[in-house]
């Protein structure tokens, strides 16, 4: 079997790369739904439908386990799919199949607590308030998932989310870093103004932003710790695979890159991030 990684576009490559580093011999299939990207501004129902179709395509291509390498899909679609479509799909398939998101591992990293569905809230301690900044798509920001889930667990972490709606189309379109840098700077400044000071920690809560993580790091004041979502996702998947030996990640190191959009080479900033030429095939 293989592990599938799904995103609206190239952002999930940041998660994919962390999985390749962690599981070098695993078989991995990447699917970018570039025909419908960006997801960040789409109505929720549409994100649910597109995410379901993406998962189906990855299962069809040989994956048994799909990681949503997309915050927007994880925030808006995952719970719905787990409650509605997935149980019937698993039953009809007759062999293990599951879909995992990237928000739970990120919240575990941000809170320092293992995930439980009914957490006991650590009480507010005004003198020890930590400020966490999240940069995300408009869809993830609207869901308020990070604010809600972190507040259930840690009363002493204040979460502020900054939507950056123009970034995904620019990164998908291969915009010049000189264009991206001042936009990112503007979002860092907007978040800092809203908080009244710089955050203590930050999450690039849209996987596309990892592709230009150095521009975020340069725009944030020194000392702001970036929580690395792809690494947290790899940590979490490692624990999941240990606890669920029914999922075999494969051992031939196969890599398949599929897109619902135009097949072919990826743009310059993506290849610079990837460190090698990268071509997507038709899904
Ligand atoms: N990479 C997706 C995420 O993490 C981008 C969503 C989009 O297509 O707007 O949210």
Q: Is the CB of 51 under 6 A from ligand 1?
A: no
Catalytic residues, by residue number, are 70, 206
pLDDT of residue 196: 96
pLDDT in tens, 86-135: 999 999 998 999 999 999 999 999 999 999 888 888 766 655 689 999 99
List the structure tokens of 67.
């990681």
- Note the pTM of the prediction, 2 decimals: 0.96
Taking a C-beta distance cutoff of 8 angstroms, is the pair 164, 140 a contact?
A: no
Q: What is the mean pLDDT of residues 177-185?
A: 98
Give start-end residues of each CATH 3.40.50.1860 domain in the chain. Answer: 2-103+230-282, 104-228
Confidence of residue 230 (pLDDT cuts 50, 70, 90): very high
Distance 15 CA to ligand 1 centre (A): 12
pLDDT in tens, 45-75: 999 999 999 999 999 999 999 999 999 999 9
Bridge partners (DSSP) of residue 257 are 30
Distance 138 CA to ligand 1 centre (A): 9
- Cα-based torsion angle of the residue sequence 266, 180, 148, 155 in order, rounded to the nearest 10 degrees: 130
Question: Which atom of ligand 1 sits closest to the CA of residue 40?
Answer: 9
Q: Is the CB of 161 under 6 A from ligand 1?
A: no
The dotted CATH code for 104-228 is: 3.40.50.1860
Pocket test for ligand 1, best of 5, 8, 13, 105 (most atoms within 8 A of CB): 8
Pocket test for ligand 1, best of 39, 47, 50 (most atoms within 8 A of CB): 39
For the segment(s) 2-103+230-282, the CATH number from 3.90.930.60, 3.30.420.40, 3.40.50.1860, 3.30.930.10 is 3.40.50.1860
Among 178, 182, 183, residue whose Cα is nearest residue 168: 183
Q: Is the CB of 74 under 6 A from ligand 1?
A: no
């Amino acid at each position: 079997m293989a592990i599938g990684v799904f995103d609206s576009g190239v952002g999930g490559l940041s998660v994919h790369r962390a999985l390749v580093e962690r599981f070098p011999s695993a078989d991995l299939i990447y699917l970018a739904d570039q025909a419908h990207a960006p997801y960040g501004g789409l109505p929720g129902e549409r994100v649910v439908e597109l995410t379901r179709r993406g998962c189906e395509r990855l299962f069809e291509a040989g994956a048994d386990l799909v990681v949503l390498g997309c915050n927007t899909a994880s925030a808006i679609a995952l719970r719905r799919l787990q409650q509605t479509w997935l149980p019937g799909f698993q039953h009809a398939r007759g062999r293990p199949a599951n879909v995992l998101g990237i928000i739970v591992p990120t919240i575990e990293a941000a809170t320092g607590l293992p995930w439980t569905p009914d957490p006991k809230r650590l009480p507010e301690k005004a003198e020890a308030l930590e400020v966490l900044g999240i940069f995300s798509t408009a869809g993830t920001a609207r869901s308020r998932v990070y604010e809600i889930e972190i507040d259930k667990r840690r009363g002493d972490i204040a979460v502020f989310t900054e939507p950056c709606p123009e970034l995904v189309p620019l990164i998908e379109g291969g915009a010049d870093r000189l264009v991206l840098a001042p936009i990112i700077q503007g979002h860092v400044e907007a978040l800092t103004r809203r908080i009244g000071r710089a955050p203590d920690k930050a999450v690039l809560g849209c996987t596309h932003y990892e592709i230009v993580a150095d521009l975020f790091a340069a725009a944030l004041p020194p000392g702001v710790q970036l929580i690395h979502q792809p690494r947290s996702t790899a940590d979490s998947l490692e624990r999941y695979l240990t606890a669920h030996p029914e999922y075999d990640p494969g051992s031939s190191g196969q890599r398949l890159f599929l897109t619902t959009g135009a097949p072919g080479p990826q743009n310059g900033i993506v290849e610079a991030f990837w460190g090698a030429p990268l071509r997507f095939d038709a899904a």
